[in-house]
Structure 1
């Protein structure tokens, strides 16, 4: 029998310590068996599991730790198991599961208090399980045979990284294994996200994340992040849908937290509001857009040297909105998708005609603006709007492209940004936008958040470090100007006597 098979049998030989099924044998869900088979296969020494909150992560960690402590699948002498969490109180939760699984086993000593340890004595010597907080120095000098990093995404930077390094280096002394088990981190820059996105050789990754850019209560995608529901592990379907409805109604941080914890999405949960809730934006998406009527406002967002650049086109007379994005073709969209943690999303945008590439490692400004103007060739341009911070580059590009029309320079700071964001949000709420179902724009809106100053003024920011909000920024510029045009009184000619 393989090691994974031995582990599965050993875990399912334990007894459920609490809850409605207390006293019955442990039954692993399909996704839990898949993780054990992958994390304990040949050539793997690190296993990463990401799944929604309440899916049995802590119980699984405790079961693996206890069966290893008791030697059910590893007969090394003087085995050492380390369970680490953000704080000692969080580590205590997993430790309680371990103590419950051990039960009245002979030759076991349980120490509680400031030191959380379970010691098992057999012929090969004492074997130790200990639970610690995420402070690097607490693991120095150890020689773990199994390290479990519980809720790794929540560990603080610095001290958490020190502990991870201390644990992983200690494994080499005993040919040990590490398991990183957590809900999703709020952004791609988190250490746990990097393990999932760019796993090194010898690392097994299993991630259960809901499909992005969908309503919080979309059940098929919600099930992706909660794979244990059909096997009665974790929250029930009714509870999840009820919690999703409450989060949608409350919005803001409550909705962001639900997406992060229960849909396992990488959503920033700090006290920052989204530019617009996707549920609100969905009401502005139409299957058949109105025709281009009247003058068009063109919003430009020139990205950094190698990032996305975008343009938005808004016709205030009809509410029609179109958005386009551009990337340099070096590196390819496939490589960018991996680097940005979005998989094939960029390629899908390109296949839908929403994202284009331009030759080189940077987007040539003049050629880009020429393509922007070609997109509305023959239309009456009310004005072109751009960030005054990049006025020089954009102005040179407009002149090179032969544009001689009006240009409006706006800022993304507190002054201009607060007004533009408010007008954009009002246009969404009043359904004065008719947009296609654009993956490009949906992805940008899901990453766009608003920072607030003490006076309540807003400005646009990224919700995650690798988010691409350029299409949303361009749309804010164009739609806000369209709203200003619509609110201006129409001047009437006055008759004068000669």
Structure 2
């Protein structure tokens, strides 16, 4: 019987890198560092060669929720290119990373340095901060260049490996991705794109419609996925339980719920294709929890009114919130004269038949004139409120004179509070609105006009974290949402006001 010897396993480049990583580096607990399966699969496609020559995939994409080991994956790969002790070392390798800012780009060399510090070899590397910052292994001839994500960033470079981190956060109309791709032309190099999807058209087009030379590793969920389901969390986080703790996910979810918006959780941790700088004013679930078809104000109960004044195309809206019961009621009006009836307005504004239905339910009406007659609206509002004292009416500071004139014409003398719509007042009013609904103080019968307004309203978040209401699209009507925040802010201010103290002296 002939003796047959088993052929030794042929190690792939990914196997060689994984073995070198395990033999060289340690994790934060001092144990040998090993690759997760999703990291191994991604690197295998990155290293894959075309039998005809060159890379099988010019571009590989890794898109996951945050904190799944993406930066460590890139750090190990770049170290493999630049460290002479690596089995995959490329002499004179030219590597560059592009990111939304130079600070973002510097996270990668910092991650490499941390890996080497753990094995007391941090001194093997040198970092030159002179722009553009460069990172080198002292024993090799290659380098990593950190770029700023500016429009011309990456133009003119000749690279073996080109990286774009946080691709979904790159500014629109930015040429960075194309410049990075072009930079590998002369060396027949490879490109890696990483980051959460965000709302970048360029990045999402690459992910959703990759060409034959692009391999996408996407770990994310659709917009309509249940953000509170742990099974959903696992789909977007391949390192869950290893590189990212389950307890952290629970805490991040609870934090979002407490703040009144899960948008950041959905964007950063579930990798949904959403904008991280735009949120909903209220989650639909938080709104529906406040629905109570028996909700009515207490007889004679004082109330607060929030008003948003409209023009020829905009709605004039008022939201009434009652001081003790927390009941919310709202009403709106469009000008009745002109070429647009309620059905046409609904079609133009993208809300379908909502205005017609709201009018049938008594939530919306039309005033005389081609522009909403504010005095006429106030007359109707006074009847709508009925025998309830109005403690204050909050309105836009920008149209203060117009509003006071209309109040005088309607012979109404409610106390007026003027508010701005920018991030100073707007941030306070948005937080007050979320607080009212999250605390369970708000009660209301279902109101289609309010639902339509909340659907059309976005909350724009600045880099400082300040918020203000914004339209979700050009024709969006956010008048009811603005009025709601004004009424809720007045309600919360009254709720938080210190109780009056009386001192009685007995003579």
2:15 paired residue number = 9
Scaled by the length of structure 1, what TM-score is found? Answer: 0.56
Counterpart of 2:267 (choices 257, 260, 266) is 260
Tell me by how many angstroms 1:448 deviates. Answer: 1.8
Structure with max Cα Rg: 2
Structure 1 runs not aligned, ≥5 long: 292-311, 322-357, 395-405, 484-498
**Structure 2 residue 455 is the aligned partner of structure 1 residue 444:** yes
**Structure 2 residue 164 is the aligned partner of structure 1 residue 149:** yes
2:313 paired residue number = none
1:129 paired residue number = 143
CA shift in 2, pair 1:197/1:290, >3 Å: farther
Note if contact 1:118-1:130 (Cα within 8 Å) is conserved in structure 2. Answer: no
Q: Secondary structure at the match of 2:455?
A: helix
Q: Deviations over 1:19-75 (max 9, x none)?
A: 43434142223x323433455555521122221221101110112223344697878
Tell me by how many angstroms 1:224 deviates. Answer: 2.6
Counterpart of 1:209 (choices 220, 245, 269) is 220
1:24 paired residue number = 32
Question: 5 Å matches for 1:411-430?
Answer: 430=441
Tell me by how many angstroms 1:179 deviates. Answer: 0.5
Question: 5 Å matches for 1:354-373?
Answer: none
Note if contact 2:75-2:108 (Cα within 8 Å) is conserved in structure 1. Answer: yes
Note if contact 2:93-2:160 (Cα within 8 Å) is conserved in structure 1. Answer: yes
1:224 paired residue number = 235
CA shift in 2, pair 1:380/1:101, >3 Å: closer
Tell me by how many angstroms 1:241 deviates. Answer: 0.9
Q: Secondary structure at the match of 2:39?
A: helix
Tell me by how many angstroms 1:256 deviates. Answer: 4.7
1:239 paired residue number = 248
**Structure 2 residue 76 is the aligned partner of structure 1 residue 66:** no
1:308 paired residue number = none
Note if contact 1:84-1:132 (Cα within 8 Å) is conserved in structure 2. Answer: yes
Structure 2 runs not aligned, ≥5 long: 1-6, 51-55, 296-316, 322-326, 331-342, 373-379, 382-394, 404-417, 489-507
Note if contact 1:83-1:148 (Cα within 8 Å) is conserved in structure 2. Answer: yes
Tell me by how many angstroms 1:102 deviates. Answer: 7.1
**Structure 2 residue 182 is the aligned partner of structure 1 residue 169:** yes
Q: Deviations over 1:389-422 (max 9, x none)?
A: xx9799xxxxxxxxxxx99xxx999669979997
Tell me by how many angstroms 1:173 deviates. Answer: 1.1
Find the aligned partners of 2:468 and 2:34 in 1 and give their Cα distance. 51
Question: 5 Å matches for 1:195-206?
Answer: 195-197=206-208, 199-200=210-211, 202-206=213-217
Aligned-residue Cα RMSD (Å) equals 6.0
Find the aligned partners of 1:471 and 1:138 in 2 and give their Cα distance. 36
Tell me by how many angstroms 1:184 deviates. Answer: 3.9
Find the aligned partners of 1:213 and 1:366 in 2 and give their Cα distance. 23
Q: Secondary structure at the match of 1:248?
A: helix
Tell me by how many angstroms 1:129 deviates. Answer: 3.2
Q: Secondary structure at the match of 2:61?
A: strand
CA shift in 2, pair 1:169/1:320, >3 Å: same
Q: Deviations over 1:73-132 (max 9, x none)?
A: 8787743222334455544432244356679999x96332323123665xxxx5x13131
Question: 5 Å matches for 1:339-350?
Answer: none
Tell me by how many angstroms 1:266 deviates. Answer: 5.0
Scaled by the length of structure 2, what TM-score is found? Answer: 0.55
